[in-house]
Amino acid sequence: MTDELKGRTALVTGATSGIGKVTAGELARMGARVLVHGRNPARLEATVAELRTTSGGQVEGVRADFASLADVRALAAEVRARTDRLHVLVNNAGGATTGRALSRDGIELTLAVNHLAPFLLTNLLLDLLKASAPARIVNVASEAHRVGTFDIDDLQNERRYSTFRAYGQTKMQNIMFTHDLARRLSGSGVTVTAVHPGTVDTGIWDAAKGVARPIVRVMQWFMITPERGAAPLIRLASAADVEGVTGVYYKRFKPAPTEPPSEDAALQARLWDASAKLVGLS
């Protein structure tokens, strides 16, 4: 264990596997107190035990199902009960579905898990992040945001649905949220960035069916390991050379332009308002 992040507290969502697990372990190895989020209690317990051993750091588990807004609220409350400071929030949890499905709250599942859950969680933890400034928020987005067209009036994909379109829409929303939040947090000492970690072999596409299945099989030939995929997240969460950088989308390690809808401030505001309404934020 080293001491680059000694005295700092980090929350990494979706950290029982893949790039989230690697990121959590590395932040703990660097001296941070790391809250590891997962959905499955047994898997969460095993991950915490493993990361404590491999990192030699302070690792704790926090459970929530991002398909439930009540669970997200409970997660925020638990984090607040455990600490009065939060220096790093890595919004990594996400997934893809094989067909249109609804969350416990009756919201299209990909939207609920990939965008609304981190939107709500971040907002509920903003006071902790501001109190801990300088603090960082890292949103895991994707080059998949370039897939299809973005329709602010069909956030729940009721008019037409495909697995890739739904996923790509939420990754666009992650980027729009990043740009909007960076503007709202200006001067607070809290920065927010978005990152495409690469096409990582995390298993989220394993259940793909129909026309998506052969596409996924081809994609798997070009996927990188979770260790390589986590590297850009770890850098944005900890490196001194990105201190103060905010509102930027990274394609792995380099800033990159995004599709035009993500840069539209009026559209960002509409997404914020629609998201706040769906999650019950005033």
pLDDT in tens, 94-111: 998 888 999 999 999 999
Q: What value does the mean pLDDT take over residues 201-216?
A: 53
Q: To the nearest whole percent, how much of the chain has pLDDT over 90?
A: 84
Q: Any catalytic annotation for residue 167? A: yes
- Banded pLDDT at 17 (limits 50, 70, 90): very high
Q: What is the pLDDT of residues 213-262, one digit of tens each?
A: 555 554 554 578 999 999 999 999 999 999 999 999 999 999 999 999 99
Q: To the nearest whole percent, how much of the chain has pLDDT over 70?
A: 92
pTM over 0.75: yes
The SS3 of residue 90 is strand
> Cα–Cα distance between 41 and 47 in angstroms, integer?
10
pLDDT recorded at residue 148:
72
Q: Which of 161, 167, 249, 250 is catalytic?
A: 167
pLDDT recorded at residue 205:
46
**Residue 191 forms beta bridges with which residues?**
136
- Copy the structure tokens of residue 268: 């960002």
pLDDT recorded at residue 160:
85
Q: Do the bridges between strand 88-91 and strand 9-12 make them parallel or antiparallel, or are there none, so unpaired?
A: parallel
pLDDT recorded at residue 238:
98
Q: Residue 233: which of 123, 87, 89 has the closest Cα?
A: 89
